[in-house]
Amino acid sequence: MADLAEPTLMPAAEADAIAALAKALAHPARVRIIAFLLSRPGCIGGDIVDEVGLAQSTVSEHLRILKASGLVVGTFEHPRICYALDPAALAPLQGMIGAIAARAAGDGAANCYTPAGRTR
């Protein structure tokens, strides 16, 4: 019988960080904001409102969520706020996606546990 290694669980803080990133990316308007910020090195909040086509208060709420996740940073340049992406914030999510891709590239059958005497 093959010796099954004890599974290694990720620390709760890392799981929380990945979940926050996934939640921040889980809305089409926030994905459009990220895409807009990718198209320029930084921008003023009003530019985002014009580009995304949502009310200023709605864009502000989406930016609050993106900032809370760390994906977006805002610097106050009176009387405006300039927003930019922080690519380093994606490291936890990128690591998990890389691990999933690496496993998918391997033998998928080896990833499935089948109790002795049972067939798939």
pTM for this entry: 0.74
Report in angstroms the alpha-carbon separations of 72 from 18, 22, 40, 80, 103. Answer: 15, 14, 13, 16, 30
Q: Provide the mean pLDDT of the chain.
A: 84
Mean pLDDT over 61-70 rounds to: 94
Selected residue with higher pLDDT from 41 and 67:
67
Phi-psi region at 49: left, alpha or beta (left = phi > 0; alpha = psi -120 to 50) = alpha
Q: What is the dihedral of CA 67, 73, 79, 80, to 10 degrees?
A: -90
Report the share of the chain in percent with pLDDT over 90: 43
pLDDT at 119: 57
Q: What is the tens place of the pLDDT at every residue in 71-105?
A: 999 888 778 888 999 989 988 889 889 988 988 88
Q: What is the tens place of the pLDDT at every residue in 34-53?
A: 999 999 877 788 889 999 99
